[in-house]
Amino acid sequence: MSTLFLSDLHLTASRPATVALFERFMAGPARRAAEVYILGDLFEYWAGDDDLDDELNRRVIAAMRACSEHAALFFMRGNRDFLVGARFAAVSGAALVDDPLVKKLYGTPTLIMHGDTLCTGDTAYQAFRAQVRALQWQRDFLAIPLAERRRQIEALRARSEAEKRTKSMDIMDVDQGAVIAAMREHGCRRLIHGHTHRPAVHRFELDGAPAERWVLSDWDKRGSYLVVDESGLQSQPVDPDS
C-alpha cells in the first residue's frame, strides 16, 4: 500500500477538465492507496462551510466522500481554502490536519506542509496570512452574508494576481533558510510541500547529513501526485482516461 500527496488543484467551475480529472483520481488511484493527503488549495477559494450547496463544491465533496470509504483521507488547509472547517470535514470524509505535520512515512520522519509559511521573503503576504488566520478575523468574516464574502474574495484574488506581476519569482518562492529552520525544529530530513507551483526535488546537506525537499505539482496543465511507499517516492501523472 502507498500514501499519496497532492496540492494546488485550484478547482473552479471555469476549469471543468481539472474538476473531472480530480474525480477520476479520487475514483481510481486514490481508492487503491492506504492514505491520501491533500495539502491545500484544493479549491480556487473557499468562502465558508455554508457554501456546500454550490454545484462544484457538491461534486468535489461527493468524490472525496466516496474515496474515504476505501482510503484514509486527510486535508491540510492552504492559502486559498484556509476557511475549510469541521462541517466540510464531516461531509467529505476527510480528517483535517495541522500545518505543519510530522508523519513517519515507511520509517522516515517527514515534515508535511502547504508551503506558504516558508515564503518568508514575501513579507506582505506573510502579514496578510497572519491577519486572515486570526480566529477573530475569521469569525467576523464568516458572519458576513455568503454572497458578500464571495464578492470580497473575488476582489482579493484580483488584487493578488495584480500584485504577483510586480513581485520577483524569488520572493514568491520558499526561503532555504526557512526550510532548514523548519526541518531542524521538527527533526526531519525530508520535507513535502506544495504552494509554489514549482514541482522539483531539492537535495541538500542539513547539519552534515543528506536532506531532501519534494515540491508537489500544481494541476494547472496536468494532474499529478506524489506516491510514497516502501520503495521510495515517485511523482505520477493522473491518466485522463483512467
pLDDT of residue 242: 59
- Provide the residue range defining the domain that includes 188: 3-237
pLDDT, tens only, 117-151? 999 999 999 999 999 999 999 999 999 999 999 99
Domain for residue 38, yes or no? yes
Domain for residue 220, yes or no? yes
Q: Do residues 149 and 48 make contact, with C-beta atoms less than 8 angstroms apart?
A: yes
pTM for this model (two decimals): 0.96
pLDDT, tens only, 8-32? 999 999 999 999 999 999 999 999 9
Domain for residue 231, yes or no? yes
Per-residue HEC secondary structure of the chain comes to: CCEEEECCCCECCCCHHHHHHHHHHHHCHHHHCCEEEECCCCECCCCCCCCCCCHHHHHHHHHHHHHHCCCEEEEECCCCCCCCCHHHHHHHCCEEECCCEEEEECCEEEEECCCHHHCCCCHHHHHHHHHHCCHHHHHHHHCCCHHHHHHHHHHHHHHHHHHHCCCCHHHHCCCHHHHHHHHHHHCCCEEEECCCCCCEEEEEEECCEEEEEEECCCCCCCCEEEEEECCEEEEEECCCCC
CATH number for position 37: 3.60.21.10
pLDDT, tens only, 174-229? 999 999 999 999 999 999 999 999 999 999 999 999 999 999 999 998 999 999 99
pLDDT of residue 14: 95
pLDDT of residue 221: 87
Domain for residue 36, yes or no? yes
pLDDT of residue 176: 97
pLDDT of residue 95: 98
Domain for residue 242, yes or no? no
pLDDT, tens only, 77-115? 999 999 999 999 999 999 999 999 999 999 999 999 999
pLDDT of residue 87: 98
- Is residue 165 predicted with pLDDT exceeding 80? no
pLDDT, tens only, 31-80? 999 999 999 999 999 999 999 999 999 999 999 999 999 999 999 999 99
Domain for residue 102, yes or no? yes
Count how many domains the chain has. Answer: 1
